[in-house]
Structure 1
Amino acid sequence: MTTTDYDHDTVLVTGALGGVGRWVVDRLADSGTHVVGVDLDRPEGTRSNTEFWAVDLTEKGLARETIDEVAPDAVVHLAAVSDPVCNPDSRVFDNNVASTYNVLSAAGQAGIDVVWTSSQAAYGALFAESTWTPAYLPIDEAHECRPEDAYGLSKVCGEEIARTVVRRHDVSVTTIRPATIFGPGRTRRRPHADGTDLTSDAAGRNFGSFVDVRDVARMVEAALATDHGGHETVLCVADENYLGQPTAEIVEAVCGTLPDQCELEGRQAALSNAKAADLLGWEPTYTSPRSEADVSGPEWL
């Protein structure tokens, strides 16, 4: 994709130095887009087509001033505390909700379209303390969100903020819900395909659903190029689970049962990417490294 696919000469990307933000910045800059990256700090060096601003987006005035001064053609909001395991609940919730409200409302007031990342955690399965069982499989964008943790709740609040901004300011907002994000540079031992206790393995909590960070960057670019109007939520997930076992067996091992409506075949992902194909023309290009001992990841998104 090149900049001829969308009318965005300048795109502002928040969370630009994060695990996802770096890939999004590079992909957009490689296509010729001028990218203004925003994070809490500025990197020592920059690359062509990029500049970086150091801004605390939980400060409403700073967020509004930044967007007004940059005057981008589109905003990509990726900034968040994305590790709820090693951060206090209040920090996760307060940071994520405040920054999302400040960025999206400022963009809306300026008449600027937004692409931002929510999370699979909005459904509630990933960090639930109780047994979380899907109402049906595969899970799609219409499935009920019932989080039990501060991170998932912060993303549900963010999605409601997105709808509010669309109603109030008549801009376009695309909400991307990525599965657990894997990618180069972050390694984690892959559970053995045989003999893994899925009831205790962390990867089993989202039924082995994942997506490569390069495919997330591709979806951001596809969303920028799609003029859908209003608010749309889209799952970002690979076609198959990365655990190497039939997905229905993983769900049953984790939940103790399967929903009455279960239309999974083999290793088909528990999360559906059908809407992404229909709305954005996006399909995943990176698959699970089934034969490798290690995989990269995760980013808890």
Structure 2
Amino acid sequence: MSRIAVTGGAGRLGRSVVRALAEAGHEVVSIDRTSAEGLPARQLDLDLLDAAATRQAFARIAPDAVVHLAAIAVPGSRPDFEIFDINTRLLWSVLEGALAAGAGALLVASSPTVIGYGAPSGWEPAYLPLDEAHPVAPWNGYATSKAAIEEIVRMAVRRDGHRARFGVFRPCYVIAPEEWAGAPTQQGHTVAERLADPALSAVALFNYLDARDAGDFVTAWLDHAEDVPNGAVFFVGAPDALVAAPTAEALATHVPETAGAAAALPGTAAVFSSARAERLLGWRARRTWRTELDAPPSRPDPLRSAEAPHA
């Protein structure tokens, strides 16, 4: 059993990550500015922007590994410069505090938005499905903060890779377990509403991820951190797209700049490939909207009974 500190552990993603780690037998400490009822972890209220307090807290916790999820998570929710400043300072504080406390592994949450889709000046994918080798082109403060976070992790590998393992994952649009039953998602819509109106998910290229599958990914990374390249980046998403129509058709209709590359996507395949996570970690999302949604979308779905292919 290892002691794992999870920043942002009381959040939409964090709660499922904490539960997955606890179910795997780890001792978990959640570090957040709020608490979550019933969370299987010791919960610590801490402002991670206070670098000195963070260092002291990590010294007391003495974690074997740290999972860093805490961040301003919604693009546009604050001015770009504030989001960039807060998200990058949070990582610096956690990175230095974790290393000073002797943590042997640090996994950091980034975002698919680093790819640059949705840019007002236009964006076209070099190819589809998108994988970790695709060029990044962030265009807002949130995405730029995540690109900077990835670069900070690469710096840490060069500076501290002899004493710790580092990883980055880009979780797709997170859907918490209660949201399948009708609770609002991060943007305020229900999952059923997003399926009924594909334009709501088109802005994210129909990507999504069950938070519990994200928790399973974190567990898999911690189990294999010594076996994968230090600092490796992973897309982490469901194997299908959050849309009832075939993916290529939905992209051509709602994201026409992707139409040329979309032809490479068969059936209901996801736009973002998690093949690297499957190849290196043995992880694959097990939950899709077709298996988890309590109420069917208002639009008939002729593909609902078909097995979603792996992308």
TM-score by length of 1: 0.85
Corresponding residue for 1:273? 274
Counterparts of 1:41-60 in structure 2, within 5 Å, are: 41-42=34-35, 50-60=41-51
Corresponding residue for 2:106? 114
The structure-2 alpha-carbon separation of the partners of 1:91 and 1:244, relative to structure 1 and needing over 3 Å to count, comes to same
Does structure 1 retain, via aligned residues, the 8 Å contact 2:111–2:172? yes
- SS of 1:104's equivalent? helix
1:164 CA displacement: 0.8
The structure-2 alpha-carbon separation of the partners of 1:64 and 1:285, relative to structure 1 and needing over 3 Å to count, comes to same
Corresponding residue for 2:220? 222
The structure-2 alpha-carbon separation of the partners of 1:51 and 1:257, relative to structure 1 and needing over 3 Å to count, comes to closer
Extract unaligned runs of 5+ from structure 2. 184-189, 299-311
In structure 2, how many angstroms separate the alpha carbons of the residues matched to 1:154 and 1:184?
A: 27
- SS of 1:220's equivalent? helix
Whether 1:251 and 2:243 are equivalent positions in the alignment is no
In structure 1, how many angstroms separate the alpha carbons of the residues matched to 2:157 and 2:46?
A: 24
Identity value in percent: 32
1:270 CA displacement: 0.7
Corresponding residue for 2:204? 206
- SS of 2:245's equivalent? coil
Tell me which amino acid in the other structure corresponds to 1:169.
D
Whether 1:39 and 2:40 are equivalent positions in the alignment is no
Does structure 2 retain, via aligned residues, the 8 Å contact 1:80–1:95? yes
Whether 1:158 and 2:149 are equivalent positions in the alignment is yes
Counterparts of 1:9-24 in structure 2, within 5 Å, are: 9-24=2-17
Corresponding residue for 1:297? none
Runs of 4+ in 1 over 6 A off after TM superposition: none
Corresponding residue for 1:124? 116
Does structure 2 retain, via aligned residues, the 8 Å contact 1:108–1:165? no
1:158 CA displacement: 0.5
Q: Which has the higher helix share?
A: 2
1:112 CA displacement: 2.4
Tell me which amino acid in the other structure corresponds to 1:221.
T
1:218 CA displacement: 0.5
Corresponding residue for 2:192? 190
TM-score by length of 2: 0.83
In structure 1, how many angstroms separate the alpha carbons of the residues matched to 2:205 and 2:136?
A: 16
- SS of 2:220's equivalent? helix
